A and B are shown apart, each in its own frame.
Chain A
Amino acid sequence: NAGVTQTPKFRVLKTGQSMTLLCAQDMNHEYMYWYRQDPGMGLRLIHYSVGEGTTAKGEVPDGYNVSRLKKQNFLLGLESAAPSQTSVYFCASSYLTVQETQYFGPGTRLLVL
C-alpha cells in the first residue's frame, strides 16, 4: 500500500495563478482532510470530506476550493494564489471518524511570489 500520496511535492506560483493539489489514498478511507502548516501555527484544517461527493469547510477555507469526485481522491484548488497561501499543505485520511488515526501524506511545499 502506498498510503496517502500528494502531487506535486513542491511548486512555485506567481500571485494570481491557479493550481490544483492532488491527494490520493489507497486505504479505502471515508474521511479525507486538507491542512496547511505554518511556523508556530501547528496544523490548520482547510476543508474536509466525510465521503465521496461531500465536502465541508474547516477553520481556514477562504481562497481554497475542494472536490471529492472519487472516494480515493481529494483535490485542493487555489483559484487565484496569494503570498499568504505560501505554506506546506498536508492531506490526511481516516477510516470512519475524526478520532481515529489520521494518516498523512508527505506534504506539498507551495511558494507564492
Chain B
Amino acid sequence: TQLLEQSPQFLSIQEGENLTVYCNSSSVFSSLQWYRQEPGEGPVLLVTVVTGGEVKKLKRLTFQFGDARKDSSLHITAAQPGDTGLYLCAGARTSGSRLTFGEGTQLTVNP
C-alpha cells in the first residue's frame, strides 16, 4: 500500500489545456515536495510546501498543500509540450524522517 497516492497515473492532453494532479494520504506530513522527472534523467525538485493551506506558484504551475497537511495538488495552466514528464510527490512525516515518494503521474502534452 502506497503511503502517498497520486492520481491520475497517466494523463495525455493537448497543448493549451489546464490540468490538476493530486497527491493524497491518510497521514499527516510535515513537508511535501514535488519533483519532475524527464526520460533518462533523475527527478528535479520543483517546490517544497511546509504550511497547511500554503499555495506556491512557479510560472504556470500552482502547488497547494492541504489545510490538514495530508494532501497536495499541482495545477498547470495552459500546458506546453515542455511540461511532459513524470511528476512525483514526496512527503516527510516528521522533521527527521525519510522522504516517501508517490508512484507518480506521467503527463504527456501533445502539440
Contacts and interface: CB of A to CB of B under 8 A. Distances in A.
Interface of A: 4, 35, 40-45, 48, 58-59, 90, 92, 97-99, 101-102, 104-107
Contacts of B103: 40-42
Given A40-B103, A99-B48, A45 B40 contact: no
B61 interface: no
Interface string B83-111: 00000101010011111011110000000
Contacts of A106: 40-42
Contacts of B42: 4, 90, 92, 104-107
Interface of B: 2, 4, 6, 9, 30-31, 33, 40-45, 48, 50, 88, 90, 92, 95-99, 101-104
A101 B88 CA distance: 14
Contacts of B99: 45, 98-99, 102
A77 B103 CA distance: 25
